[in-house]
Amino acid sequence: MGNTRRGRQNINMLLVVLIGFCVLAIIEIVYGQAQMKVERERLDLEEQNRQAVEELKEEWRSLREGSSVVTAESEAAPAASEADQEETPEKITKQETVKKDTKEEKKEEDAPKEEDDRDYSMQIVILGDSIMDGDRTESGAADIIGEQLDAKIYNMSMGGTTAALLPNDQYNFATWESRSLLGVVHGILGNINTDIFDGYAAGEVLKTCDFDKTDYFIIEYGVNDFLTKQIPNSRYLEGGDTLAIDEAHTYTGALHDAVSRLKARFPDAGILIAAPHYCQVFNGNTFIGDGYSLDYGYGSLITYARGAGYVAGQFEGERVFFFNAFEESGIDADTADEYLADGIHMTPLGARVYAEKLAKIIHNDYAPEE
């Protein structure tokens, strides 16, 4: 009985072991199949990815080839007719658009300004320095003169210029370089190369103004002649001595030369000489002197102003007028703070006071009955 029982136990144990082996075998088989399935799926995915990559590469190559073909065709194709251009919208790159816009802007800049064809009462040409050139708006002296007289203004003034030639300037038409009053006059008369005025308003006026239609020339210089400390008022000194320089290198000599030449060429035009106005000179915030007291060796500014009056008097009866701006413009020591912005250049109010008094002189000649 005991042996039989042990035998059954052994058999049972063998069965358990066999069953265990079977289970392990089954598990291994199932696991192996699963692994194979996963591997197959992995391989399938790799193949799909490879194909996708190849397709993308092929598409990219096609796009690149297509782009090159389009560019080549566009370069080789003949220009389309006007009809074709109207039917087919033109493709313009960003760069081409910028170039086109730039060309359009350039055309607008280069396009001549609209002509002022208003019927004015008179034409006035102004020759001067920054007093007339500094403010070219409606608050500047030149525009106010035009407003007061219903005049077409051609403003040839240039800031920083003098009436006279500077010491190193030569009176030689072939090599002329001075933009002084004498330079402007010779430019008007066609005696010199006018390229020296390119970039200045005077250069544009020379190209557009019919000077034969001028009713009045206004000559306004003197402050810079005085401030250079190099241009005498006259060759003739108070003590009786005479400077060894020609007239063109003096203030009054240059004025006389300019007026003589303008009267010879435009005998019917009136000429108004405006003397330099009252000024105050500062070094920073320090007051140096004014038009009465400051003297750089050739007289004070009022001496230059009276010199301008002397020149005008030399043409008595020839419609050469004098505006004594130094003593009669309303700008003086009492009004300087209100009428002068920096001791020399005018405020808008100062410009109006000055311009109205100058315009009155011309008006009295143009319409004496009024």
Distance of CA 242 to the CA centre of its chain: 46
Confidence check: pLDDT of 309 > 60: yes
Q: Looking at residue 369, what is its pLDDT?
A: 82
Identify whether the C-beta of residue 194 lies closer than 8 Å to the C-beta of residue 203.
yes
Using the predicted structure, report yes or no on whether residue 278 has a pLDDT greater than 50: yes
Tokens of 89: 């919208």
**pLDDT (average), residues 49-71:** 49
Do 169 and 178 contact (CB within 8 A), yes or no? yes
d(CA 247, CA 232): 10
* Class of residue 35 by CB neighbours under 10 A (exposed 0-12, middle 13-18, buried 19+): exposed
Length of the chain: 370
CA distances to 174, 176, 250, 251, 271 from 191, rounded to whole Å, are: 9, 9, 21, 21, 20
* Of the candidate ranges 101-110, 115-124, 140-149, 229-238, the one whose mean pLDDT is the lowest: 101-110
State the average pLDDT over residues 15-28: 67
Using DSSP, state whether 16 is helix, strand or coil: helix
More confident residue, 155 or 75: 155
Confidence of residue 240 (pLDDT cuts 50, 70, 90): confident
CA–CA gap between residue 230 and residue 320 (Å, rounded): 27
- Per-residue pLDDT band for 237 (boundaries 50, 70, 90) equals confident
**Which residues neighbour 302 within 8 Å (Cβ) at sequence distance 6 or greater?**
291, 292, 326, 327
Residues 6+ apart with CB under 8 A from 283: none
Q: At what angle do helices 251-265 and 181-189 cross, to 10 degrees?
A: 20
Q: Which of 224, 207, 196 is nearest to 154 (CA)?
A: 207
- Print the SS3 string covering 64-97: HHHHHHHHHHHHHCCCCCHHHHHHCCCCCCHHHH
Q: What is the DSSP secondary structure assignment for residue 47, as one 8-state letter?
A: H
Residue 71: per-residue pLDDT: 35
Buried b (16+ CB within 10 A) or exposed e, 311-345: bbeebeeeebbbbbbbbebbbbeeeeeebbeebbb
CATH for the 121-366 domain, from 1.10.10.10, 3.30.70.330, 3.20.20.80, 3.40.50.1110: 3.40.50.1110
Which pLDDT band, with edges at 50, 70 and 90, does 54 fall under? low
Residue 31 identity (one-letter amino acid): Y
Residue 92's pLDDT band (boundaries 50, 70, 90)? very low
Q: How far is CA 74 from CA 78, 80, 83, 99, in A?
A: 8, 11, 18, 18
Three-state DSSP class for 274? strand
pLDDT of 97 strictly over 80:
no
Q: What are the C-alpha distances in Å from 153 to residues 124, 130, 146, 180, 368?
A: 5, 16, 6, 20, 21
Beta-bridge partner residues of 152: 123
Mean residue pLDDT of the chain comes to 82
Scored b (16 or more CB within 10 A) or e, 50-72 reads eeeeeeeeeeeeeeeeeeeeeee
Give the ranges where the chain is alpha helix by DSSP (H): 2-76, 82-87, 94-110, 130-133, 141-149, 181-189, 201-208, 223-227, 251-265, 301-313, 325-328, 336-339, 348-366
Q: Which of 10-14, 238-242, 330-334 is predicted least confidently?
A: 10-14
CB-based contact 287:348 (threshold 8 Å)? no
